[in-house]
Amino acid sequence: MDEQAGEQVDELRRELCEYGRRAAALGLVIGTSGNLSAREGDLVVVTPSGVALDRLRPEDCPVVDLEGHVVQGERKPSSETPMHLALYSATGARAVVHTHSVFATVVASTMTELPPIHYNALLLGGAVRVAPYATYGTPELARNVIAAIENRQAALMASHGAVTIGGGLEQAFEATRLLEWLCEVYVRALGVGRPAVLTEDQLTAVIERAFSG
């Protein structure tokens, strides 16, 4: 790794710690559940296995190549690293955030998609699909997530949690917060009555308005 790549990787390690702490502070992750990564060229910096995200230090975060071989760091990469790497190879993402946040997991455990009942769902690409269940850390789970996230910034993972992608950690993290909010609104709305799902025409009108300035 040359000096410039080294500096960029160090910056991403610091960012992973910052967003790890924020995710823990907001209750999006508990203990060692959840993992984050960011890509720089052919390298990916990922949170390690077995370290609570609110106690992460930059040097704890391993650097792997796109095949998952550790090129820097003492710790073992997160067990969900194969899913992160599959997302980088299938999409233009520069960052991935995966959590077991409460409302996302409630929806992921009970439904096949999160219907768009609020127009902000469009910020994630519309209805958020639930990837079929597979054991954590397996190529099968990675494949299911890739299929579910097509043309989206987010996917839910059946009986497991949520995953979001973005052009950087801030974007992927904000997508995770928005997804959790949308899931909470949906679950709470179900407790009051039958939430109205926005129609294609209604969603198209929002897109047209957003692009008309």
What is the set of active-site residues? 80
> How far is 212 from 206, CA to CA, in rounded Å?
10
Instruction: Answer yes or no: are the C-beta atoms of 164 and 179 closer than 8 Å.
Output: yes
Tokens 């550790």: give the residue. Answer: 70
Which residue's entry shows tokens 């190529």? Answer: 139
The two three-digit tokens of residue 44, written as one number: 């990916």
Structure tokens, 83: 């899913």
Q: Tell me which residue of 60, 90, 96 sits closest to 168, measured CA to CA.
A: 96
**Cα–Cα dist 77/46, whole Å:** 6
Q: At 187, which helix (H) or strand (E)?
A: helix 169-192
Rounded Cα distance, 111 and 159, in Å: 10
